[in-house]
Amino acid sequence: MKRIIIYLTLIAALCVGNISARETAPTETSQDISKQKPRIQMAILLDTSGSMSGLINQARTEVWTIVNEFITAQKDGVSPEFELALYEYGKSSLAADEGYLRMIVPLTNDLDLVSQELFALATNGGQEYCGWVIQDAANQLQWSQNPEDLKVIFVAGNEPFTQGPVSHKDACRLSISKGIIVNTIHCGSESDGVSGKWKDGAVLADGRFLNIDHNSRIAHIPAPQDEEIARLGAELNTTYLAYGADGSAMLERQSAQDSLNSSAPAAKVQRAVSKSSLYYDNARWDLVDAVEAEKVQLENIDKDKLPEEMKNMNIEERKQYVKENAEKRKELQHKIKLLNQMRKDYIAQQQKENAAANTLGSAIIEAVTSQAREKNFTFQSAPAADENQQPHSAEETNNPISPKAD
């Protein structure tokens, strides 16, 4: 009996010691969180049933506008990382036992991939299970564990929010329990959205209930700077140095997305602006971004994995070539930023006389910028162009000044 008592006492002591160690020792997650930059993570869940072609077109056109809204965002003086995920739901060609839904793109900063997948989307009839797609997005995506980061879901559609075997209430409660806000976008009238329980879903997950006209065409206000911004955006492609197994294919994808987005004037300009920002990061296949991020060392790259024009260069020549392209890129990006500020000032003046568009992009921007501020993200105003920077004629607009030293 004494042996049993001693044995149980030792086990209890070990258990207490283990509990104490777990309470006092920092976990790997907490250590990782302390080192991370602030993050803004957004998942867009699109109804791709037969009547939703207008919604998809809005997503294609306005994805760059949404990204650009965060170019000046900061938290505690640090620019956040921005990640975007896409789901589709409500299409009969998708698996019924998986809820007629599909993760298209996980949370990523690969913006060209997001654009490529949006242009590949098509619609057909199906069952729209909002609860199921919200549940999957909350469970499947690699959401940040930092409660100070902004994590949001936007679900857009036009059928009742209550459809499907997964309770919309349970799905929304699950999301907010993980710190993920759910915003609902009803494609139709406000009254139908309320009666269809779209508002209820947003309330349950601390989100916003919005309604849009998904068939509305994106209004584009032409600005004098548009043509030059688009041209500079295309010229940026010449500074990308594709390396590795996927480099050439990624460079071709970049050009293809330029071409697809050029069909809509607003998207063409906004994409060029995105390409001038820190969110357009291609370090996985571009040597300029990879070297700047210290993800590769030129000395260690096999000759066969280099761009054709660099294969016969020695190490010093490689470094100089990458440096020259980096400097050229920064110059082009600086010009785009200056012109874009002039463009924004011009459009703001024009919009004073016009009603704002009621579209997917405007709804997302309205909600998420407000929610970002609640998380203590700030949005810096771009500096006004001085007299030496401001073009005074169409000719000068098409020949922007060289960037000044910071």
Copy the structure tokens of residue 207. 């989100």
pLDDT beyond 90 at 291: yes
In the prediction, which pLDDT does 340 show?
Answer: 95
Place of tokens 């900061």: 74
- Residue type at 259? S
Copy the structure tokens of residue 84. 């975007």
In the prediction, which pLDDT does 74 show?
Answer: 94
Q: How far apart (Å, rounded) are the C-alpha atoms in residues 374 and 382?
A: 21
pLDDT beyond 90 at 13: no
Residue 53, CA distances (Å) to 160, 200, 391 in order:
18, 26, 40
DSSP letters, 365-391, are HHHHHHHHHHTT-EEPPPPPP-TTTS-
Nearest residue to 313 via CA among 286, 250, 322 = 322
* SS3 of residue 239 by DSSP: helix
Pairing assessment for the beta strands 150-157 and 181-187 based on DSSP bridges: parallel
Copy the structure tokens of residue 46. 């699109």
- Model pLDDT for residues 196-205, shown as the tens digit of each residue: 999 999 999 9
Pairing assessment for the beta strands 181-187 and 209-212 based on DSSP bridges: parallel
Place of tokens 């980061």: 149
In the prediction, which pLDDT does 26 show?
Answer: 39
Structure-model confidence comparison of residues 366 and 31, the more confident one: 366
**DSSP 8-state symbol, 84:** E
Q: How far apart (Å, rounded) are the C-alpha atoms in residues 298 and 289?
A: 12
pLDDT beyond 60 at 11: no
DSSP letters, 233-253, are HHHHGGG--B-STTHHHHHHH
pLDDT beyond 50 at 21: no
Q: How far apart (Å, rounded) are the C-alpha atoms in residues 316 and 12?
A: 64
In the prediction, which pLDDT does 29 show?
Answer: 52
Say if pTM beats, i.e. exceeds, 0.85. no
Architecture in CATH for domain 37-212 = 3-Layer(aba) Sandwich (3.40)
- Model pLDDT for residues 237-271, shown as the tens digit of each residue: 999 999 999 999 999 999 999 999 998 888 999 99
Overall average pLDDT of the 41-48 stretch:
97
Q: How far apart (Å, rounded) are the C-alpha atoms in residues 211 and 31?
A: 41
CB atoms near residue 259 (< 10 Å): 11
**DSSP 8-state symbol, 78:** B
Q: How far apart (Å, rounded) are the C-alpha atoms in residues 168 and 382?
A: 41
- Model pLDDT for residues 182-194, shown as the tens digit of each residue: 999 999 999 999 9
Q: How far apart (Å, rounded) are the C-alpha atoms in residues 85 and 56?
A: 15
Q: How far apart (Å, rounded) are the C-alpha atoms in residues 60 and 398?
A: 27
Residue 348 confidence class, pLDDT cut points 50, 70, 90? confident
Count CA within 13 A, CB hemisphere, residue 110: 19
Residues near 208 by beta carbon (within 8 Å), at least 6 away in sequence: 183, 184, 202, 366, 367, 370, 371
Q: What is the mean pLDDT of the chain?
A: 86
Contact 360, 267 (CB under 8 A): no
pLDDT beyond 80 at 94: yes
Copy the structure tokens of residue 8. 């149980």
Interior angle at CA 155, CA 150 and CA 156, nearest 5 = 135
Residue 28 confidence class, pLDDT cut points 50, 70, 90? very low
Q: In the chain, what is the straight-line distance between the N-terminal and C-terminal CA atoms, in Å?
A: 80
What does the domain layout of the chain look like in residue ranges? 37-212, 226-353
* SS3 of residue 74 by DSSP: strand
Nearest residue to 229 via CA among 347, 406, 400, 112 = 400
In the prediction, which pLDDT does 1 show?
Answer: 44
Residue 221 confidence class, pLDDT cut points 50, 70, 90? confident
Copy the structure tokens of residue 271. 């994409």
Copy the structure tokens of residue 297. 């060392």
**DSSP 8-state symbol, 257:** H
